[in-house]
Amino acid sequence: MQQPTSILAFYSFSPLSEGHLAELRLQLLAFGTERGMRGLTLLATEGINGTVCGSPEAIGEWRTMIDGMFTATIWNESTADELVFPRWLVKVREEIVALNKPDSSRLDGTHLAPTAWNAMMERGDAVIIDTRNTYETEIGMFEGAIDPAIKNFQEFATFAETCDVPKDKNVMLYCTGGIRCEKAVASMKDAGYQNVFQLEGGILSYLTEFPEGKFNGECFVFDHRVAVDQRLQPSTTYRLCPCCGDPGTEHAVCPHCAHSFVACSGCLKKNPEAACSKNCAYHYARTKQPSRVSTK
């Protein structure tokens, strides 16, 4: 019987020196390469963030190593039948989650474990805000949550400054695995909100404890699974649109190779002759160009 693939999403805001980043990158890169791991890990002076996959033994060793290097690491574990990333990458960035706020000392949100989050939702005295992008909120959200309708996370700070939620309200923030909320809290507090709470471990942590809870739909993940259902199983509904990379459900036939594929409704509406890949799109476009007749 084939061994399942272990998937581990994690982050830690633990300061690293600028001079240590390159050395640590090579160490982590070699560790994963030797064990046949796949995924992406980001390093910055504010800490580490990643989602990796591999054999249960390799992922267990990775977690032990990271726990020895970083403090207060947030973990989310799941499984799949196969590797969910095409390659193994470790990169150095300005931030481990981009919001143009590379100062981890300002991250002071109040974390709610899933049970406490559920209880606060049931009390009904808070405003719930989804901090994710529109292609994520379209396939799943918490009951009654506000969708800020942002196309990328860097727009959240503007939303926090302009939204009409009363400043004295309790505000509950959530995202996929928790890391975006760490900085979204800072944006809300910069905008004058004081009672701001975040879901520790994000939707993934919540679904681990409450698979039939208050989250409706599926949760987008940034790998080949596209999304996970409420029991953290790979989606059987969504596929990545080859045109834009968003989750899609619309079936189509490639005009170049005649293979069937799945795309999002928006791309098929804009281009009914959309192709199944960039390569097919290129070659199909060439067949549509007027032929050049030699005048020699």
d(CA 6, CA 52): 8
DSSP 127-174: EEEE-SBHHHHTTEEETT-B---BSSGGGHHHHHHH----TTSEEEEE
Q: Phi/psi at 193 (nearest 5 deg)?
A: -85, 135
Per the residue annotation, which of 175, 254, 267, 280 is the catalytic one? 175
Q: Is 254 a catalytic site residue?
A: no
- DSSP H or E segment with residue 10: strand 5-12
Could you tell me the two tokens for 119?
């209880």
β-sheet with 196-199: strand ranges across: 110-112, 196-199, 170-174, 126-130
CA 225 to chain centre: 12
d(CA 95, CA 45): 7
Angle, CA 175 vertex, CA 105 and CA 169 arms, to 5°: 75
Catalytic machinery residues: 175
